[in-house]
Amino acid sequence: MYKNSIQVRNVYKNYHKKENILNGINLTVKIGEIYALIGASGCGKTTLLNCMMGMYKIDSGKIEIFNQNVEFKKTSKLANSIGFMSQQISFVSQLTIQETLEYFGNLHFITRKALKERILSISELLELPSLKTFVGNLSNSEKRRVSFAATIIHIPKLLILDEPTVGLDLEFGNKIWNFFNEQTSKNNLTILITTHCMNEVAKADCCGFMMNGKLIVEEKPNILLEKFNVETLYEVYYLLCLNSNQYQFICEENDDNALKLECRNTEFYTKFRLSIIKGIIVKDFHRFKRSFTEIFLIFMTMFVLSWLHITLLGQYPDDIKLGIINHENFNCKNETVPNECGNLHFSCSFLGQINGVKKIFYESNQKAFQDFKKSRISSLMIINENFTNSLINKTFGAHDIEVFLDYSKYHFAIHLKIKIFLTLRDYLLNLTKHCEITDYFMNPYKIEEFLSVKSELDFNFSIPYAPNAIILYSTIAIMTCSVLAIIQCRKCGDWNRSLLNGVQITEIVAAIVFQYLIFAFIISMEAIFCLTYIFKIEFFGNVWLAFILIYIYTINAFLFGFNLSLILDDITSAGYLTMCLFSSLNYISGVIWPFESISKIISPFCYIFPSTFSCIALRGIVFKGFAESYTATFIPRGVTTFFPNIIAIRIQETALDTLWGNEFNEFPKLKYLEIIETKLTTISSRLFEKLPYIGFISFSQNLIKYTGYDLFAPVDITKLQELYFNNNICINSGASSQSGIVSVITQLRQQCLRHCATGNIQETICELKDEIEMLIDQMRRIVNDRNDQDERIARLEAELAMRDAKMNL
């Protein structure tokens, strides 16, 4: 049995180690009374109420509500017995009045029928507008009425109200006080209010005057008037201010209202409750539904940025102005000369094959160089007068054609350089058909496609970087959505009010994570759609594997945005930081340029960002297909930072955990990746112990020599990067055989891993024997082809040397 609803004993509170806001305050609120707390602005009234609700942590002292000690951020067990109304409205403006009241009613597990009846009765009592009116469209007075309705919706035993009648008209204020008196007399309701109005203080059962963080007087209003022998409480307050240290009155104790039974449901639920999570999700669904324009624009970001990427980036320029000085023949502007060995001017036929540029002919070197310096032309080509003779005599040299490129327009210069080079190569190859010149002399090398990577001149530069761009656009879409929405909820006070009504932090986080798992799914589907239909990329790997990678990475980006929204306090700072992150990811994660080319000092920090390895993994799945060793290396490491983001907000832990998985072998890695590496190492040693023939060892050594790939080596990021990214162009006659070897090697490794799991090494050797012998034959043919090629080159060099000697004679 207890008779006091609230007991405050010797409480101290300060901010940032400055002067105390609460300076040893003592306060007692009895059961069933209306207690009015009055004081000047800044004396600590609101701070005291926040400490009672566990929102602020006191420095010393003790606060009890219903004989239960109030702890910092641990008032959920009393939430069903307390109704707290702060000065801040703390509502979501996109919800209607009915949806708002239903949300707070569901937090206290009120049945649907009872909740509907309470909403109707309270709306009639408080003269609320139509229940379908949006909270954002209400006046300040109407918002405060809705706030009071949400405070009493669950019929609490204690009301703590911070200036509840501010902004209300006098008539409605009197109606509220009639409600207070009725509830205290009938239902033994206890009410603690703060106010600046002495007329309201006179209606209270007990009043307390605060000054400089102390309670100087606590007494019934009529007794104060008698003791000070004055007519109004304004005069009492004036006298107290003059002599604040001379008075200390305490309300007389009365046991009539002593509470013999504990208040209904004072012990609130503290377990993880799915119904609460459902209520939060429904509330946020209504909010997102009313913010359709903002959500639509965020989801359209992916499509718009992808369209801009494919439209504006990577396209090769048209109508490049190429200045030409042809010293061999000035009059071949419109002349078309067939490719015959007897032609007098090969330069005209060569110039006729250069397409896609705007050719401007000059007769004077001075005029041409003048226009080149003034950027009237993008490049300048000079053909010397001995061009045709050099080709006929096979003495073609570097000074027969001179090309000057303007590298201030780097992409123009590189494109034109490649175009002129390939046009000259094709022209010379075509010329050999008529002049009895060996093809090898004009084209001593052969460029082959490596796996799925193309090497065409007209290949769109934006396509290889499309997966990187999709990763970046997914980051921006999900982070913008999460950061802005969560900061908005924090700023409007929605979270704080929910916590004061018994909602736990874990329940709010669970509801948010569930919502953004759905958003991440939608954004990931958008990403696959953009890759397939906007970029028009043909997947060489599994589309669903790419979707899973993007989905996991998008969740990781959301968690990072969630952490930022808890650290930042305003939307402006979030916008600046998001733009900064967007720009940083462009460079650090290899979105625009490979991160392998970054400075060695900065490159270790690239591994902190999960987008780095996610870009590499997605690019491999899209363009190279699925390879077990490749994916096992990059996909787990690409999403490593997904896990520490769940655990903590500390970015240092995220960075350290990522570096553990990528740089330092002595630190723990992902479990399944470690198992794969262990099995591959085991099969390497066991196979080399039991192989009955030496040919396989020879094959393995030759394999390393010619492809740089060790079949039985553990997974190594550096070697895989060199193999899959740096060896795209193989300049040797066995390039096609080499790519075939790599594909068979991948199959061998998969079979080795499968049989290693069962420990049947002999079965592995028998099954691989035919493939091994075939690969040995292929390797021998490669070596023989290279030897034959070296012999042909030697013979050609000897013939050229003899011809040069004869010409000199």
Q: Does pLDDT of 498 surpass 70? A: yes
Considering 13-17, 304-308, 317-321, 564-568, the range whose residues carry the highest mean pLDDT is 304-308
- 339 shares a domain with 257: no
Crossing angle between the packed helical segments 735-758 and 671-690, to the nearest 10 degrees: 100
Q: Check residue 360 and give left, alpha or beta (phi > 0: left; psi -120 to 50: alpha).
A: beta
- 350 shares a domain with 226: no
Instruction: Give the pLDDT score at 653.
Output: 33
Choose one of 211, 243, 270: the last residue of a domain: 270
Residue 210 bridge partners (DSSP): 39, 215
pTM reported for the whole predicted model = 0.64
Instruction: Give the pLDDT score at 761.
Output: 44
Question: Do the bridges between strand 82-85 and strand 60-65 make them parallel or antiparallel, or are there none, so unpaired?
Answer: unpaired
Report yes or no on 27 lying in a domain.
yes
Token digits of residue 471:
């990763």
Residues 105-131 as b or e (16 or more Cβ within 10 Å = b): bbbbbbeeeebeebbeebbeebebeee
Q: Which residue is listed with tokens 């206890």?
A: 190
Rg (CA), the chain: 40
Instruction: Give the pLDDT score at 775.
Output: 55
Instruction: Give the pLDDT score at 690.
Output: 39
Q: Does pLDDT of 192 surpass 90? A: yes
Across 129-133, 481-485, 722-726, least confident range: 722-726
Report yes or no on 261 lying in a domain.
yes
Report yes or no on 391 lying in a domain.
yes
- 74 shares a domain with 213: yes
Structural element, H or E, at residue 39? strand 34-39
Q: Check residue 315 and give left, alpha or beta (phi > 0: left; psi -120 to 50: alpha).
A: beta
Q: Does pLDDT of 631 surpass 60? A: no
- 333 shares a domain with 205: no
Report yes or no on 324 lying in a domain.
yes
Q: What residues make up the domain containing 265?
A: 4-270
- 345 shares a domain with 260: no
Instruction: Give the pLDDT score at 191.
Output: 92
Instruction: Give the pLDDT score at 642.
Output: 44
Q: Which residue is listed with tokens 């112990």?
A: 689
- Number of domains within the chain: 2
Domain containing 391 — which CATH number?
3.40.190
Please give the average per-residue pLDDT across 371-388, as a whole number.
Answer: 84
- 85 shares a domain with 213: yes
Domain containing 33 — which CATH number?
3.40.50.300
Alpha-carbon distance of 475 to 614, in angstroms, equals 12
- 195 shares a domain with 117: yes
Report yes or no on 695 lying in a domain.
no
Instruction: Give the pLDDT score at 108.
Output: 87
Question: Do the bridges between strand 20-30 and strand 190-195 make them parallel or antiparallel, or are there none, so unpaired?
Answer: unpaired
Instruction: Give the pLDDT score at 644.
Output: 39
Across 202-216, 515-529, 591-605, least confident range: 591-605
137 burial type by CB count under 10 A (0-12 exposed, 13-18 middle, 19+ buried)? exposed
Please give the average per-residue pLDDT across 147-174, as a whole number.
Answer: 87
Instruction: Give the pLDDT score at 721.
Output: 38
Choose one of 373, 393, 412: the last residue of a domain: 412
- 401 shares a domain with 262: no
Non-local (6+) Cβ contacts of 319 within 8 A are: 357, 358
Higher pLDDT, 552 or 790: 552
- 84 shares a domain with 187: yes
Report yes or no on 777 lying in a domain.
no
Report yes or no on 176 lying in a domain.
yes
Amino acid symbol at 195: T
- 220 shares a domain with 134: yes
Mean pLDDT of the chain: 71
- 351 shares a domain with 233: no
Q: Which residue is listed with tokens 């979501």?
A: 92
Alpha-carbon distance of 343 to 97, in angstroms, equals 91
Choose one of 270, 294, 311: the last residue of a domain: 270
Higher pLDDT, 489 or 707: 489
The alpha carbon of 269 is separated from its chain's Cα centroid by a whole number of angstroms, namely 35
- 374 shares a domain with 230: no
Report yes or no on 353 lying in a domain.
yes
